[in-house]
Amino acid sequence: MRPYTLAGKKDTRSGFGDAMTQLGRTNPDVVALCADLAGSLKLGTFIQENPGRFFEAGIAEANMIGVGTGLALGGKVPFVTTFAAFATGRVYDQIRQSVAYSNANVKIAASHAGITLGEDGATHQIMEDIGLMKMLPNMVVINPCDYNQTRAATLAAAAYQGPVYLRFGRPAEPVYTPEDEPFVIGKAVRWSEGTDVTILATGHLMWRAIRAAEQLESEGVGVDLLNIHTIKPLDEEAILASVRKTGCVVTCEEHMMNGGLGDSVAQLLARNFPVPQEYVAVDDRFGESGTPAELMVKFHLDTPDVVAAAHRAMERKKQR
């Protein structure tokens, strides 16, 4: 297992906010737009230091996408920000036609994604957003795992030329990736090497996958664990190299089983190297109100679920 140090807990949205503060000081072309949720997106310091580079769109997300596209075509680097439910489903037509089709340099920064939004319930707990975004031509889709990686991913998104969907969350989660680790779009990060089972995790599920890998290794199971922080472009080379070594795979994500990381991996393997695959994901249902921890357990997205999925994958491999 790759060595790591726990540095407390912080929400990934704060990683975005702190990166925006840095970008405000270092890149004069970066601007921010928000749909009446600047506090939730942690944009306070950016706004205070750069009042002329912040645009409050109000509860008019479709208009915000259009304004952001215009700013991009005018040479700015706009980050359009709101909750993930509003950043994707509510404005899909505008993103498709104005951003993706035009290959505009717009960064869609989507907070409060997934089941860990918690008490706000099903209407706000979007778990289809990765699928919606990855189907769009030209769109990069990034789902970082902790505060440090979200901060680094935001900086990388600003430097990338083209549309980016950046997904992050509300709750405080463990901080365990190195503070100074470079973020390379489309390149997986290896956390452990083994020959028994591949585990591919993204976003908040990465920490659960690390804990699961530690438990499995204590049982004598060799785990090949990869952090797939970029859903599109997928690191196909790293994934195929891993599954050719282990012969089975578990995909872990805080997203619908349909359309997410697992779906992308399944398509890759079907074309190149079919192996038994198990999913740790939401199985075709809406969320509900509860604490993030309660919901992760109820929706089978916790560490024991990753361990169980790994055992199922290995058992299926034996039966082939």
Between CA 314 and CA 320 the distance in angstroms is 10
Catalytic center residues: 61
Tens digits of residue pLDDT in 122-141:
999 999 999 999 999 999 99
What's the pLDDT tens digit per position in 228-246? 999 999 999 999 999 999 9
Q: How far apart are the C-alpha atoms of 289 and 295, rounded to whole Å? A: 8
Whole-number Å distance between alpha carbons of 249 and 224? 9
- SS3 assignment, position 52: helix
The single-letter code of the amino acid at 186 is G
164-167 vs 140-142, strand pairing mode:
parallel
Close Cβ partners of 76 (under 8 Å, ≥ 6 residues apart): 29, 30, 31
Q: Is the dihedral of CA 176, 182, 186, 187 positive or negative?
A: negative
pLDDT digits (tens, 9 = 90+) for 91-112: 999 999 999 999 999 999 999 9
Measured between alpha carbons, how far is 300 from 58 in angstroms, rounded to an integer?
A: 36
6: burial class by Cβ within 10 Å (0-12, 13-18, 19+)? exposed
When the pLDDT of each residue in the chain is averaged and rounded to a whole number, the result is 98
Domains of the chain: 10-174 (3.40.50.970), 189-319 (3.40.50.920)
Collapsing DSSP to helix, strand or coil, 100 comes out as helix
- The pair phi, psi for residue 111, each rounded to 5°, is -100, 175
Of 206, 208, 173, the residue nearest 189 (C-alpha): 206
Pair 251, 200: CB distance under 8 Å: yes
Q: What is the mean pLDDT of residues 186-198?
A: 98
Mean pLDDT of 288-305: 97
Say if residue 288's pLDDT is above 90.
yes
What is the value of pTM for the model shown? 0.97
pLDDT at 145: 98
CB 208 within 8 A of CB 303: yes
Tell me how far apart the alpha carbons of residues 281 and 127 are, in angstroms, rounded to a whole number: 10
The answer on pLDDT for 320 being more than 90 is no
The size of the chain, in residues, is 320
- Residues of the chain with pLDDT > 90, as a percent, come to 100
